[in-house]
Structure 1
């Protein structure tokens, strides 16, 4: 365990202690930093022994290493009891994806189940905030997509077939959260849209995804996106605000969608190419499924206003990718 001596809020009754799983990831690093700037929260990070913790050290009250290779129920339960944790935020997942959704689920479920089971063992009042994805909200009919999860057995549209593994795994994890709630537990789900922006750790999946779309060549095993792929985009700092607002609200059974701007992958690639000063003939996109991600309900109940716009941030995004050494456009 690595304790940060600069902190003195752990015993302050006005401060709510948060246990963060996945703190060393892209979103987790930004959330650690934001929580450090928020006086009513104190963050404890539970990490795997193999995790690189240097970037998050300044922002955590304490960094706790799991006893085994993976985060286990006993690790989470011990941290809850020792530090009087009121909220657990789970951002942990495994990349790159496994070959099948079943194999990926077996890995992704480890940290989530540890969080849910430990909360159940200690107190039904402990709030677990789980992470899903906006792709998991896509319905067969497309159209206006809100925080409401699709009904069981829904059929995904053709253009989302390439991302079936991630969608299916998220849906399976979501069912674990719903079961926890139905059994008396306190949990909610955040659905981030496609995340962009700088991070104190490393580049994201989207860094590679946009670049391989522009080049039209597979990169690190991924095929280029279909040109009619529609998503929404949220800056990592705005997403961190969403998690913090959800932690403050601590409301059982709620679903929150963070979808700042609706942009197709081809529209985003065009902005990216312009910022990178790369000649790119972008595919004119027709939103034939009429997909629009609408997070107005989330913004209203969490009292959020998204601060960042893609067009204003994409240049610094490209510069950050170059700095990290993950830039491969020719």
Structure 2
């Protein structure tokens, strides 16, 4: 039997149970908090044996430890059956990155396959919501980017070579999910754009990536992003709302893009530097491929309105990074 920690007085037992994998991560922590504020969902968090659960304890109905370091189909299936789970959200991924896309995929696919296979084994009604990345949607043609996945073999923009491993691993996981859906599996994909803001657990990749871009120096072995890197940004709280809306929708084969604001790395770094009150001369930015992320379909289908704007909330983000001890701009 899986080891569990119950918190029965904190959440009404009449609400629907959601199984969340990756609950102690950056997005997972924010989603735990947001789910606990709903009237219709309660969180069952499946975590690894050595996970730090203190930050998510107030938001969970139960915290369940996996039997091994990696999640297994057996772990997920047991929770689904025992707790009458109808929705599984997988936010678990492998860190640190491996040296090749194949090695990274072999680690990243473990939790995803555990979720898909367990749901399939229990009932075709179990809805699995998987996470991807917006860069797996960008093709060499650039232009308007929506929730529609590119066709197999589509070439990627040259600047994406900087994060080729991440892009290719997301594509591999996307193909795995699409194959599952094509065979009758009940699954959806959420494509988060670059995520910023405060989470009750840890920080995100952008906590150091933006600071690194401002300094122009490598940090922890990573090179700064190129100036012409265009992306879209979503506040972690708005992204949590997207996952919750997708869970309520429950549509088989749903594809949802959360991309509230189109901003280059240079533009976001400028906002960050202003909030942090440090000197920064932004490189000249040119959107050479006319890349624009358009999530209007997702907002319409899921009836969402994004509540946050980077210009208004970046200061709170900077303060959170300082709290986490990952702020390193003092010497700029």
What TM-score bracket applies, with the shorter chain setting the length? over 0.9
Q: Is the 8 A contact 2:11 2:42 kept in 1?
A: no
SS in 2 for 1:243: helix
Instruction: Give how far 1:65 is off.
Output: 0.2
What is the SS of the residue equivalent to 2:55? Answer: helix
Q: Which runs of 5+ in 2 are unaligned?
A: none
Q: Tell me the residue number matched to 1:274.
A: 274
Local SS of the residue matching 2:280: coil
CA offsets, 1:12-34, max 9 Å, x none?
Answer: 2xx22100000000000000011
Aligned to 1:209: 209
Specify the SS of the correspondent of 1:55.
Answer: coil
Please report the TM-score for the alignment, with normalisation by the length of structure 2.
0.97
Once residues 166 and 9 of structure 2 are traced to their aligned partners in structure 1, the CA distance between those partners, rounded to angstroms, is 39
1:233-255 alpha-carbon deviations (Å, 9 max, x no partner) = 00000000000000000000110
Secondary structure at the counterpart of residue 135 of structure 1: helix
User: 1:162: which partner in 2?
Assistant: 162
Alignment of 1:234-313 (within 5 A): 234-313=234-313
1:6 to 3, 6, 9: 9
| Residue of structure 2 equivalent to 1:228 | 228
Structure 1 counterpart SS, 2:262: strand
In the TM superposition, residue 284 of structure 1 has moved relative to its aligned partner by 1.6
TM (norm. structure 1) is: 0.98
Moved more, 217-226 or 298-307: 217-226
User: Per-residue deviation at 1:50?
Assistant: 1.4
Equivalence for 1:28:
28
CA drift at 1:203: 1.4
CA 1:224–1:8: 2 relative to 1, 3 Å: closer
1:19-58 matches, cutoff 5 A:
19-58=19-58
Aligned partner of 1:102 in structure 2 is: 102
Q: C-alpha distance in 2, partners of 1:320/1:7?
A: 26
How far did 1:8 drift? 5.5
Residue-by-residue CA offset, 1:192-215 (whole Å, 9 max, x unaligned)? 000000011111100110011111
Residues paired across the two proteins, number: 327
Partner residue in 2 for 1:136 = 136
Secondary structure of the corresponding residue to residue 124 of structure 1? coil
1:69 Cα deviation from its structure 2 partner: 1.1
Shift of 1:156: 0.5
RMSD, aligned CA: 0.8
Deviation at 1:7, TM superposition (A): 3.9
Task: Measure, in 1, the Cα distance between the counterparts of 2:135 and 2:308.
Answer: 21
Q: Which residue does the alignment assign to 1:196?
A: 196
1:220, distance to aligned residue in structure 2 (A): 1.1
Aligned: 1:72 with 2:75:
no
Runs of 4 or more above 6 Å deviation: none
In 2, Cα distance between equivalents of 1:58 and 1:238: 20
Q: What is the CA–CA distance in structure 1 between the aligned matches of 2:11 and 2:58, rounded to whole Å?
A: 14
How far apart, CA to CA, are the structure 2 residues paired with 1:303 and 1:62?
Answer: 29
Alignment match, 1:118: 118
Distance 1:8 1:328 in 2: 39
- Deviation sequence 1:147-175 (CA, Å, 0-9, x none): 00011011101111111100100111111
Counterpart in the other structure of 2:145: 145
SS in 2 for 1:307: coil
